């Protein structure tokens, strides 16, 4: 006979959050959103679960941790719409559709609904707050990517591309100037000189790639946004 643990008490007819009233559940969710907003303000990126929560709330859908819906009915429940609405949206060009395994990516669908304005019209204060937090999080993640040198500053790329183009242009001008002097030389000598020019051009074209690699490895020059 199984004995119950005196430190824990099982409630009858309920499990998890199902025993909470709607008012208490809403209060808990608001507190959770405030904690997430505080995390973003402190400079911490969101987890996938937190982003999923915000994306759902931002489009006025139910809060759920579902990542992949098994069918249209489950997707509709996760998005807080009817199955008929999902069926209509599937016919629209650009909708996320289903993955190769037949499941539906819930987060991608929420983003598409928000971007395409396919959801209910009008935005509540709570939805606006969630969208603002998501934008702050995206800005934070981009800033972190820039600091980690996952993006190359545009001015550096322009500088390196200009230097490479200038070098190639100079090589081509030298090649044209060399042409008259090739008259009378052996085929082997002409081929050698032309191959030297070819090698210089290839090196110049690959120079920006080498400069990017050196820039990434240089820890003394942090990226600037």
Which range of residues forms the domain containing residue 188? 154-217
Residue 71: the pLDDT is 92
Does a structural domain hold residue 198? yes
Does a structural domain hold residue 113? yes
Residue 30: the pLDDT is 65
Do 160 and 139 fall within a single domain? no
Do 44 and 123 fall within a single domain? yes
Residues 6+ apart with CB under 8 A from 130: 33, 54, 55, 57, 58
Does a structural domain hold residue 208? yes
Residue 92: the pLDDT is 87
Do 44 and 138 fall within a single domain? yes
Do 43 and 117 fall within a single domain? yes
Question: Of 96, 119, 147, which residue constitutes the final position of a domain?
Answer: 147
With beta carbons less than 8 A apart as the criterion, state whether 105 and 70 touch.
no
Do 129 and 165 fall within a single domain? no
Half-sphere exposure of 168 (CA within 13 A, CB side): 15
Do 128 and 197 fall within a single domain? no
> Can you give the three-state secondary structure of 167-215, one letter per residue?
HHHHHHHHHHHHHHHHCCCCHHHHHHHHHHHHHHHHHHHHHHHHHHHHH
b or e along 137-163 (b: 16 or more beta carbons within 10 Å of the residue's beta carbon)? Answer: beebeeeeebeebeebeeeeeeebeee
Classify residue 133 as exposed, middle or buried by CB count within 10 Å of its CB (0-12, 13-18, 19+). buried
Does a structural domain hold residue 133? yes
Question: Of 147, 182, 204, which residue constitutes the final position of a domain?
Answer: 147
Question: How far lies 39's CA from each of 15, 133, 134, 142, in Å?
Answer: 29, 10, 12, 16
Over the chain (225 residues), the average pLDDT of each successive run of 10 is: 44 40 55 73 72 61 68 84 86 90 88 70 54 73 80 88 90 81 82 87 88 82 53
Residue 109: the pLDDT is 87
Do 82 and 142 fall within a single domain? yes
Question: Of 100, 122, 147, which residue constitutes the final position of a domain?
Answer: 147
Count of domains forming the chain: 2
Residue 98: the pLDDT is 92
Does a structural domain hold residue 61? yes
Within 10 angstroms of residue 109's Cβ, the number of other Cβ atoms is 25
With beta carbons less than 8 A apart as the criterion, state whether 106 and 79 touch.
yes
CA 47 – CA 35 distance, rounded (Å): 13
Do 142 and 94 fall within a single domain? yes
> Can you give the three-state secondary structure of 119-157, one letter per residue?
CCCCCCHHHHHHHHHHHHHHHHHHHHHHHCCCCCCHHHH
With beta carbons less than 8 A apart as the criterion, state whether 164 and 207 touch.
yes
């Amino acid at each position: 006979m199984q004995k119950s643990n005196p430190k824990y008490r099982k409630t009858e007819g309920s499990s998890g959050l199902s025993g909470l009233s709607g008012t208490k559940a809403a209060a808990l969710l608001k507190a959770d959103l405030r904690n997430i907003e505080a995390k973003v303000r402190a400079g911490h990126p969101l987890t996938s679960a937190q982003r999923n929560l915000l994306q759902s709330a931002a489009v006025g859908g139910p809060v759920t941790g579902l990542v992949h819906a098994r069918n249209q009915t489950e997707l509709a429940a996760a998005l807080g719409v009817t199955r008929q609405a999902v069926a209509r949206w599937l016919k629209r060009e650009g909708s996320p559709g289903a993955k190769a395994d037949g499941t539906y990516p819930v987060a991608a669908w929420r983003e598409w609904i928000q971007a395409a304005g396919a959801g209910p019209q009008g935005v509540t204060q709570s939805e606006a707050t969630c969208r603002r937090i998501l934008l702050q999080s995206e800005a934070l993640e981009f800033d972190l990517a820039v600091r980690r040198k996952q993006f190359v500053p545009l001015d550096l790329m322009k500088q390196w591309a200009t230097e490479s183009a200038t070098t190639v242009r100079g090589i081509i001008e030298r090649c044209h100037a060399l042409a008259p002097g090739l008259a009378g030389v052996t085929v082997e000598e002409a081929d050698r000189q032309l191959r030297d020019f070819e090698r210089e051009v290839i090196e110049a074209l690959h120079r920006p790639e080498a400069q990017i690699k050196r820039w990434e490895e240089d820890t003394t020059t942090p990226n600037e946004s």
